[in-house]
Amino acid sequence: MSVQSKKRYRKILFLTWFLTLDLIMFGAFVRLTDSGLGCPDWPGCYGSVTPVGALSEIRQAVSVMPDGPVTLPKAWIEMVHRYVGALLGFLIICISWMAWRHRQSFKQTPTLAVVALIAVCVQGAFGAWTVTHKLMPVVVTGHLLGGMLLLALMTWLAAREREHLPVASAMKGYKPWMAFGFALLCIQIGLGGWVSTNYAALACMDFPTCHGEWLPEMDISSGYSLIRGLGEMPNGEMISQPALTAIHWLHRNFAFLIFVYLGALAWRLRTDQGLRGPATLLFALLFAQLLTGLTTIFFQWPLLIAVLHNGGAAGLVLASVTLLVRLSRAGSTAVRG
């Protein structure tokens, strides 16, 4: 019975991991299509389970503001995101319950699964706050980071269940370097989320300079003021171009640090057969991120490329966490958690 339970657990786990990755990309689609307030209440849409029950309210909102945040397509985009998020939460509840119930036969601590359950509950709260705080940048960015954290936890859980070639004990010394690289990656994802939530992707339309200068005029204090509304300065005025420039410029230049550090580390880790797969993926995704990042500038932020850029960041997270899990096993003959 424990063997069947383990198989069932793994199937649900990998399905949930895949759904988490998809939900992060779909969340980017929601944000980039300005659908975050497609249903301006939570958890329903004008108190209804679906936008169908809110047609009169949606039509009234469209009649007042034809180009506003509320339209029927945007309402469906937002609600589908919520439906998938609810399904994800249910699956993680199942994972946590199974991990706890079969903790002795699985020979694994259920702590990580319980942490994932707490994380998805916090994500649900951030989803509600995103709406109730009218897309406040710090809340939306926190929602993105929470999604990436949840992906990291699900990747960690999934990586414990995957077979791989043994990792040489000499590679264990690279674990702190990989952990530091992952911390840098999290900072960069936060900076990227801040660019997206403040709509600063096109604040610099040239490359490698910004407004024709290596160090353009910037207002860092206003750009990175956390407690302010969408499109606003701390004093309530409309956000300035120097503030948007600061947001874009810092994310762009920090990306080169990530590219060099993680690129060099991934190239070194590729020499070990047990690390070659995720290290190669990490290396390839760094180039893909550079390409999609530059393309958003040259093609003025097309939707598909912007979503792929967000997905690439998620890919970097899963590759980095997989490397961390395998590095922690270096020198061990066991290849499965």
pLDDT of res. 57: 94
Contact present, 312 and 320 (Cβ < 8 Å): no
Residue 48 bridge partners (DSSP): 45
- The residue whose two tokens read 């958890």 is 43
What are 225's two structure tokens? 């003021």
pLDDT of res. 1: 46
What are 84's two structure tokens? 């998938």
**pLDDT tier for residue 333 given thresholds of 50, 70 and 90:** low
Task: Express each pLDDT in 132-188 by its tens digit.
Answer: 999 999 999 999 999 999 999 999 999 988 888 899 999 999 999 999 999 999 999
**pLDDT tier for residue 6 given thresholds of 50, 70 and 90:** confident
pLDDT of res. 183: 97
pLDDT of res. 66: 87
Amino acid, res. 293: G
Average pLDDT over residues 126-130: 93
Question: Counting every residue, how long is the chain?
Answer: 337
Average pLDDT over residues 270-290: 96
- Active-site amino acid positions: 78
Contact present, 155 and 162 (Cβ < 8 Å): no
Helix (H, G, I), strand (E, B) or coil at 5: helix
Task: Express each pLDDT in 14-66 by its tens digit.
Answer: 999 999 999 999 999 998 898 999 999 999 999 999 999 999 999 999 999 98
Average pLDDT over residues 253-258: 95
Helix (H, G, I), strand (E, B) or coil at 224: coil
Average pLDDT over residues 299-327: 90
Question: What residues contact 195, with CB distance under 8 A and at least 6 apart?
Answer: 201, 247, 248, 251
- CA quadruple 331, 332, 336, 337: dihedral sign: negative
Helix (H, G, I), strand (E, B) or coil at 163: coil
| pTM: predicted TM-score of the whole model, two decimal places | 0.93
Please report, for the chain, the start and end positions of each structural domain, with discontinuous segments joined by +.
Answer: 1-161, 166-337
pLDDT of res. 335: 55
pLDDT of res. 337: 45
User: Tell me, what DSSP letter sits at residue 70?
Assistant: -
Average pLDDT over residues 96-103: 91
What are 8's two structure tokens? 């069932």
